[in-house]
Structure 1
Amino acid sequence: MNAALRKIGALSIKDAKDLVRNPAIAVCALMPIGFMLLYRYVMFANVPSEAEAEMNSFLIGTAPCFAVGMICAMTILYALSEEKEKHTLRTLMLANVSAGQVMIAKVFVSLAVIVIVDVVCFFVIGVDVSLLAPYIAIAFFGSLSIVLLSLVLGLVSRDMVSSGVYALPIIVLALLPMFSMFGESFETIASYSPCGGMYDLMVMLQEGRLFTSDALVALAVMFGWIAVCAIAFVLVFKKLGKDN
């Protein structure tokens, strides 16, 4: 057990260093913060006071969706396919590191980066600090479905070129809730998307409706997608493991 934890820790440190050293991954991790700064202080700089609550609801819901989409597309999908193409994973396997340990390390680093970026975005938005704890909890669990889906696509992709193709649907799915304002049909589709439950819960948090019956559907959607993506990951992981 201790040996496995040490290996996961070493892999996590390696992944964190790769994130810092790779400019593309580092920029993608900083992009959500940049967009929140753009929205807050440029696009919404002159919003009237009566519309400020609606603006904050949009930003607090958009920030974690943006973060998980951009970060997972690079720190998991791109990084995993790069390691496969450069045979880094094969080298790790020969060094008595299991594939499961590699996956756990990537999930740990990705979630850590997502939470850090989400916290920075929270303070950029400037909402009540008392909302920080539930905000982090919702962002953490709401991000799991996209993290698991990114692992699935990372395992399926053969090289960095194919990962670029798979990265687009990850980003689109994550950002889908942002388009709920375009009409009822868009709102319905967005609410039942992988990040739809998280977005709706964030809006309810800002509006003070999080601990009401209104949140039950959003919670069901969020944890339903986590379960679906977890099953998909287990099936793909087992299949590819046998194929290899």
Structure 2
Amino acid sequence: MGISARKIQILFKKDFKDILKNISISISMIIPLFFAVLYKYLFSDIPMPRAYLLMLVLALNLTMTAVMIPATSIAEEREKNTLRTLALSNVSGFEFCMAKMLVTSFFLLVTNIIIFLLMGEAVKYLPAFIVITLIGAVPLIVLGAAVGLAARDQMTAGVYEIPLMLVFLFPTIFSDMNSVAEKIADLTPCNTVVEMVLILTDGNFLSKETLFPAVVTLAWIVVAIGIFIWLFRRKGVDN
């Protein structure tokens, strides 16, 4: 059965409404925005480098939103055996997962733009910022979807999500502590996105500095898609 854009669109609308009703997912999207407001306005008297603040909030949003939404929502649907009902409408498992990942990209796009504006970055960088963060988030979103496939239910998904989020978040946050932490961070998908955004906001995006994080991001996209396809073929979404 071929992929139907119309079915994905219908599923997108359904998932959009379901995600807004899910309290845990909604909180995961609010937390990075809360920290952005907190550090930007309430703690404005405390000296903090602009780059570090942007890195912290953006990394938090990338790891929480990009991983948690697809993982939790797919696990929830698997727990409810929703696909058995959708199968009556000839909805494939791939269309089901694709809609989840697209709606995740939408919410991530919205929250990233809000963070960008809250941080007071130059609006001229916004189009490139959107492209970088959307492409850079692909491996995180796909891995989040893989977690949803691997989990039996929402509780199991939560257990799997946290280590994955911490593995990607901590190296980015502590990358300035020493050279070892920096080298580890340079190989993580979250940090490469942050690095490219910081290079962009410094006005050096077309320099050679962008090459390495871009290559690492592409490598992670390939790895993440490979893991997702393997899990999808092995477990499916309705077993």
User: How far apart, CA to CA, are the structure 2 residues paired with 1:62 and 1:218?
Assistant: 17
Q: Give the RMSD, CA atoms, in angstroms.
A: 2.1
Aligned to 1:164: 158
2:233 is equivalent to residue 238 of structure 1: yes
Superposition pairs of residues 1-244 of structure 1, within 5 angstroms: 4-43=4-43, 45-47=44-46, 55-176=49-170, 177-241=172-236, 244=239
TM-score normalised to structure 2 length: 0.92
Count of matched residue pairs: 238
Displacement of 1:206 after TM fit? 2.1
Check conservation: 1:61, 1:198, Cα contact below 8 A.
no
Find runs of 4+ consecutive structure 1 residues off by over 6 angstroms: none
SS of equivalent to 1:182: coil
Deviations 1:185-204 (A, max 9, x none): 11111111121211111121
Unaligned runs of 5+ in 1: none
Deviations 1:56-88 (A, max 9, x none): 222333333222221134321111111111111
User: How far apart, CA to CA, are the structure 2 residues paired with 1:231 and 1:2?
Assistant: 20
Displacement of 1:42 after TM fit? 2.7
Check conservation: 2:196, 2:205, Cα contact below 8 A.
yes
Higher helix share: 1
Deviations 1:101-134 (A, max 9, x none): 1111011100000010000000100011111111
Check conservation: 2:84, 2:238, Cα contact below 8 A.
no
Displacement of 1:2 after TM fit? 10
Identity, % of aligned pairs?
Answer: 30
